[in-house]
Amino acid sequence: MNSIAIGRLAELASTKVQTIRYYEQIDLIQPFMRTEGGHRLYELKHVQRLKFIRHARELGFGIEEIRELLQLSDNPETDCSAADAIARSHLEQVEIRITKLAALKQELKRMIGECGHGRVSQCRVIQVLSNHRYCVSDH
């Protein structure tokens, strides 16, 4: 069995050492062992775990969702309905965010379109930002 130092693990998993330490602090990953000098040592399976975490973060999953998904992946023979439920819930949140972002986009376009490009005292962008009642949507 080959042990990997934290710097090499970070390199293999395309992440930062500080990120690995943070994931240790919040119990998403644990070192395989420590040397007598206190240096962390890992195994190759930690590379995959870190890649899993990074990919889940890129997809917008929160830490608690990732924690649950990791627990499920640690028990591969269990039913995957919990993983499916987590992904479905996350998808619902993404769809809500997309709807809000679309409304925000329209409001910004309207605000910019109504700007007369004159003086700040008559700037529609400043007016709308100063008074929420000028907004069309309730984003």
DSSP string, 63-87: HHHHHHHHHHHTSTTS-THHHHHHH
CATH topology of domain 4-78: Multidrug-efflux Transporter Regulator; Chain: A; Domain 2 (1.10.1660)
Domain boundaries, the chain: 4-78, 83-134
- List, for residues 53-78, the tens digit of each pLDDT value: 999 999 999 999 999 999 999 999 99
Q: Does the CA dihedral 24-27-32-37 come out positive or negative?
A: positive
The C-alpha atoms of residue 2 and residue 40 are separated, in whole angstroms, by: 13
Q: What is the pLDDT of residues 76-100, one digit of tens each?
A: 999 999 999 999 999 999 999 999 9
Q: Would you say residue 136 has pLDDT above 70?
A: no
